[in-house]
Amino acid sequence: MTAQILDGKALGQKLRADFRQRAERLASQDARPGLAVILVGDDPASQVYVRNKVDACAQTGFYSERHVYSANVEAQTVFARIAELNADPKIHGILVQLPLPRHFDADAVLEAIAPDKDVDGFRAENLGALTRGRPCFIPCTPHGVMKFFEEAGIPIKGREAVVVGRSNIVGKPMALLLMHAGATVTVCHSQTRDLKAHCRRADILVVAVGKAKMITGDMIKPGAVVIDVGMNRLEDGKLCGDVDFASAKDLAAFITPVPGGVGPMTITMLLANTLESAERAANAGANLWRS
């Protein structure tokens, strides 16, 4: 079997064409969707992610601002900027690129974002709503993964799903979304005994660890859906995922490539959340939350 590729670039482009039209409709009411991105420090990967997010805004007809600070900036300066952005009607989404430098209390920074502009969905209140299955901003990466399933008609109900990685950004919300969709979910992490045995049971395997090629073909159940959230840079400068694509693609039924899989969908869902926030602001009073 050779896996069907889940192409995040193509699906992202398709969704963004609709977002562009909706953005233009809002712009004609003087309510163009606006995203502010805050970057602290000079992590090269974060710089690339932030540039891609800002570029995606421009290509989709969104307004965006980038606020960049050196790693030794006073936390107070960042909090003051967030307060300004919270009050700015041009801005419908605020994203603080993670990780922050060590001297920052990242939770405190995320909690400073106004709940209705928390387009990353990282505030505790938002994650609480997600846990309860209530309407909320769904964190962008797991949201993008769910879009792949929806688009490819991949059934979830009753299936065994294994999530490798328990981060607040991906692993935990991913597990919740799969659980709400009817999967039986196992979350594996650095203390898991016999990772291979868990992975081999998975009809749906989502890997978000940050270790190049750690999941090899012998860990994959034939016919599985394999979602690779990893983005690692090899010594030769090439990008690769957490899954060894070469050995996995002959076993999986569906697989995401790296690059070009989950990455573009994360940005697409950031645009989706920002657009939703802008539409809510423009229709204040109307309930536009997803059911």
By beta carbon distance, the residue nearest ligand GUN is 98
| 95 lines the binding site for ligand GUN (CB under 6 A) | yes
Chain positions 147 to 176 lying near ligand GUN, rule: CB under 6 A, are 169
What's at 56, amino acid-wise?
A: A
Least distance CB 223 / ligand GUN (angstroms)? 30
C-beta closer to ligand GUN: residue 27 or 75? 75
- Structure token digits, residue 286: 């109307």
Kindly state the smallest distance separating residue 1's Cβ from ligand GUN, in Å. 31
178 makes contact with ligand GUN (CB under 6 A): no
Distances (CA, A) of 253 to 220, 222, 244, 278: 10, 7, 15, 38
For 89, other C-beta atoms within 10 Å of its C-beta total 9
CB of 44 to ligand GUN, least distance (A): 13
Shortest distance in whole angstroms from residue 283 CB to ligand GUN: 26
Minimal distance, residue 249 CB to ligand GUN, in Å: 25
Please tell me the total number of residues recorded for the chain in this structure: 291
73 and 40 in contact (C-beta within 8 Å)?
yes
**Pairing state of beta strands 239-240 and 232-233?**
antiparallel
Of 120, 203, 228, 242, catalytic: 120
Q: Does 256 bind ligand GUN (CB under 6 A)?
A: no
- Catalytic residue among 7, 97, 213, 228, which? 97
Cα atoms found within 13 Å of the Cα of residue 273, Cβ hemisphere only: 31
Contact call for residues 212 and 231 (beta carbons, < 8 A) = no
The yes-or-no answer on residue 157 being catalytic is no
CA pair distance 71, 102, nearest whole angstrom:
9
Q: Which of 6, 23, 85, 96 binds ligand GUN (CB under 6 A)?
A: 96
2's tokens? 């050779």
Q: How far does the chain reach from its first CA to its final CA, in angstroms?
A: 37
Chain positions 272 to 291 lying near ligand GUN, rule: CB under 6 A, are none
- State the maximum Cα–Cα separation within the chain, in Å, rounded to a whole number: 56
Question: 229 in helix, strand or coil?
Answer: coil
- Of 189 and 196, the one with the shorter C-beta distance to ligand GUN is 189
59 in catalytic set: no
Among 78, 98, 112, 215, binds ligand GUN (CB under 6 A): 98
d(CA 163, CA 178): 9
Window contacting ligand GUN (CB under 6 A); options: 8-16, 62-70, 96-104, 275-283: 96-104
Report helix, strand or coil for 182. coil
Alpha-carbon distance 134 to 127, whole Å?
10
Can you tell me which of 36, 112, 140, 226 binds ligand GUN, judged by CB under 6 A?
140
The reply to whether 90 belongs to the active site is: no
Among 60, 64, 126, 141, binds ligand GUN (CB under 6 A): 141
**Residue ranges binding ligand GUN (CB under 6 A):** 95-98, 120, 140-141, 169, 266
For the annotated catalytic residues, the residue numbers are 53, 97, 120
